[in-house]
């Protein structure tokens, strides 16, 4: 079993506090890592239903706010739909994934998860005016 640390960063240099997830497998695909991350953050949101969803990608019918995404209508988030949004964002270069210090680019690529592996989700910030 490995403990994987997920960390969010932006191209502006902002780095969020990491959080850990226990993973029983020694190898997983990048797509499965994204799925597990999204399912965990959605489960935490749905259990507490705070005003702001702090997740990897913006849910449908939500608007970006300072620390996440505010849903226009209070509701539970569907983890499957949110995973699909995340996988589409990854495919469209909405964010990059680094496992350790190596960028991975294919959802089907298997990565080795040693004890203490850090997975960084680098959210790309659009350029202003161009």
The model's pLDDT over 18-77, given as tens digits with 9 standing for 90+, comes to 889 899 999 999 999 999 999 999 999 999 988 899 999 999 889 989 888 999 888 999
Sheet strand arrangement including 95-99? 19-23, 2-10, 118-123, 95-99, 102-104
Position 35 scores a pLDDT of 97
What CA dihedral angle connects 42, 47, 51 and 54, to 10 degrees?
A: -30
Q: Give the model's confidence band at 124: pLDDT under 50 very low, under 70 low, under 90 confident, else very high.
A: confident
Q: Which domains does the chain have, with CATH numbers?
A: 2-123 (2.170.130)
Site of tokens 């997975």: 119
Position 128 scores a pLDDT of 59
């Amino acid at each position: 079993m490995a403990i994987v640390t997920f960390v969010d960063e932006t191209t502006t240099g902002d780095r969020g506090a990491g959080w850990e997830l226990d993973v029983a497998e020694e190898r997983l695909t990048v797509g499965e890592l994204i799925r597990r991350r999204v399912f965990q953050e959605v489960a935490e949101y749905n259990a507490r239903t705070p005003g702001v969803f702090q997740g990897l990608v913006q849910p449908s019918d939500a608007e970006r706010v300072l620390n996440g995404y505010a849903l226009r209508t209070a509701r539970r988030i569907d983890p499957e739909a949110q995973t699909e949004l995340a996988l589409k964002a990854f495919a469209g270069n909405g964010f990059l994934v680094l496992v350790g210090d190596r960028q991975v680019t294919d959802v089907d690529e298997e990565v080795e998860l040693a004890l203490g592996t850090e997975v960084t989700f680098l959210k790309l910030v659009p350029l202003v005016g161009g």
